[in-house]
Amino acid sequence: MSNVIYEPRGKAREYSPLALNLYTGCAHGCRYCYGPSCLQKGKDVYFAVPEPRKNIIESLKRELAQKRPTCQVMLSFVGDVYGEATDDNDVTRQALEVLLENRVPVAVLTKAGKRCLRDIELFKAFGEYIQIGASLTFDNDTDSLDWEPRAALPADRLFALEELQRAGVKTFASFEPVIKPYQSLRMMEQGLGFIDVYKVGKLNNYMGFDKGIDWTAFLQNTLDILRPAGKQIYIKHDLRLAAPSIRLYGNEVLPDEHNV
């Protein structure tokens, strides 16, 4: 029987050395989502309001009783642990409580905005062993609703990150996919006061959109914004390949450099 906490492969490995998936799909309905094809599910199935994985909390408890991981566990690569779900994210809270009890470092990546704030006291209980992040893609509601129809709007996501940082919770932002680079750059600027770690990628092989983007200019503009602000930065492998002339420092290319 496979472990519920597992080591992700390929591009996912850049986000975390370990991961835990709690739900069967995702209701956000993002146009670029890899989930339906990766899991070989139709979009109508994958994008339906998901249920928690069967017996996931019992399996997690049993696994942690045998071996406790000491490196970061990401929630999650299948679905959004704070997105709309049949259990109103109760299994997310239960999983966090189990992980906290077992002193497991955790990262959460969400597009659900302030829905995650319901667990802010639980996040604080982790101390330095948790970081909460948001995927930031567009700087306006029109594009966000077009591409990510049931995810939180941009201002909602920024609000959540600001509240988390104010509460002393480490924050990060994932800029991937980058569909309209100038909007991603604006979102980077808007988050400078409350985003601790920036993880920046690109758009890959989606309807040819990525072929028309000057990735060298985008990466240089990214660094011009983030370096003077003293931000922790990770530049993903695909963006590095697309902009090979840009010089990067060691701590900007190590995927585990900014884990908890």
CB atoms within 10 A of CB 217: 12
Could you tell me the pTM of the whole model?
0.95
In order, the DSSP letters of 46-90 are HTSPP-BPTTHHHHHHHHHHH----S-EEE-SSS-TTS--TTTTH
Q: In which band, very low, low, confident or very high, does the pLDDT at 1 lie, cut at 50, 70 and 90?
A: very low
Domain architecture of the chain: domains with CATH: 5-252 (3.20.20.70)
- Please name the helix (run of DSSP H) or strand (run of DSSP E) that holds residue 134, with its range, or none: strand 130-135
Q: What is the pLDDT of the chain when averaged over all its residues? A: 95
Q: Give the tens place of pLDDT for each residue, 5-57.
A: 999 998 899 999 999 999 999 999 999 998 787 776 788 888 999 999 999 99
d(CA 67, CA 59): 12
Residues constituting the chain? 260
Per-residue pLDDT of 193-221, as tens digits, reads 999 999 999 998 788 788 899 999 999 99
Give the phi and the psi of residue 205 in degrees, each rounded to 5: 50, 45
Each residue's pLDDT tens digit, 94-147 = 999 999 999 999 999 999 999 999 999 999 999 999 999 999 999 999 999 999
Please compute, for residue 79, the number of CA atoms within 13 A of its CA located in the half-sphere on the CB side: 26
Give Dmax over CA atoms of the chain in angstroms: 50
Q: Give bridge partners of residue 108 from the DSSP assignment.
A: 75, 132
Per-residue pLDDT, averaged over 50-65, amounts to 97
